[in-house]
């Protein structure tokens, strides 16, 4: 289907927004940029993606954190890493990875819950994850002392390339990969 002039202009506007935005483009952000309700973003993205593929462009659009983001195709990543002298990877300690996994699978939960599941005090790890904006305070628990509740953020979804929490691997899949049947079950059954 060849887009008409209005459709072409809208495609170009969305491409410009994707190019300029450091955050995923959502339907709400598109509506705000256009100052009116826009056509459905997934349909626009599908047309843009088809154009990129037909033109063999070095970029593609991915669904991440409830929106869409323009990214370099994997075969060009090496050149960008060399240019910017970066690995493009988020460096997290084993403790941080364990903690973020607990939060991602069990959220919202308190620091005490996290400490009990991990078996160690997680103060410094939680601070680090908060500073990196991978987790956030979601509110307060109704229990004694009304402790803070932690949950993951959109930045977590972006960093791990997830469209939503439903894209997290199932604990059963992790057990199969690990082969020993230990670890994730404890996470699922911890109280």
94-189 maps to which CATH number? Answer: 1.10.10.10
* Residues 6 or more apart whose Cβ sits within 8 Å of residue 87: 81
Taking only the tens place, the pLDDT of each residue in 130-174 is 998 999 999 999 988 899 999 999 989 888 888 888 888 887 877
Closest CA to 31 of 44, 47, 48, 20: 44
Q: Say what the alpha-carbon torsion angle 174, 179, 185, 186 is, to the nearest 10 degrees.
A: -110
Residue 76 has what pLDDT?
86
- CATH 1.10.10.10 occupies which residues in the chain? 5-84, 94-189
Q: Is the pLDDT of residue 83 over 90?
A: no
5-84 maps to which CATH number? Answer: 1.10.10.10
180 falls in which pLDDT band (50, 70, 90)? low
């Amino acid at each position: 289907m060849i887009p008409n002039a209005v459709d072409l202009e809208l495609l170009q506007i969305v491409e410009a927004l994707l190019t300029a935005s450091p955050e995923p483009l959502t339907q709400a952000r598109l509506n705000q940029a256009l100052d009116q309700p826009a056509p459905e973003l997934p349909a626009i993205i599908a047309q843009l993606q088809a154009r990129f593929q037909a033109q063999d462009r070095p970029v593609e659009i991915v669904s991440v954190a409830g929106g869409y983001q323009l990214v370099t195709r994997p075969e060009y990543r090496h050149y960008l890493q060399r240019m910017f002298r970066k690995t493009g990877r988020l460096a997290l300690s084993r403790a941080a990875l364990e903690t973020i996994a607990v939060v991602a699978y069990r959220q919202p939960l308190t620091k005490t819950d996290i400490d009990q599941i991990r078996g160690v005090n997680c103060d410094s790890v939680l601070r680090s994850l908060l500073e990196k904006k991978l987790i956030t305070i979601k509110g307060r628990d109704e229990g004694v002392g009304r402790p803070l509740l932690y949950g993951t953020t959109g930045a977590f979804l972006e960093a791990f390339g997830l469209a939503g929490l439903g894209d997290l691997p199932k604990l059963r899949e992790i057990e199969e990969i690990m082969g020993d049947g230990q670890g994730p079950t404890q996470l699922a059954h911890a109280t």
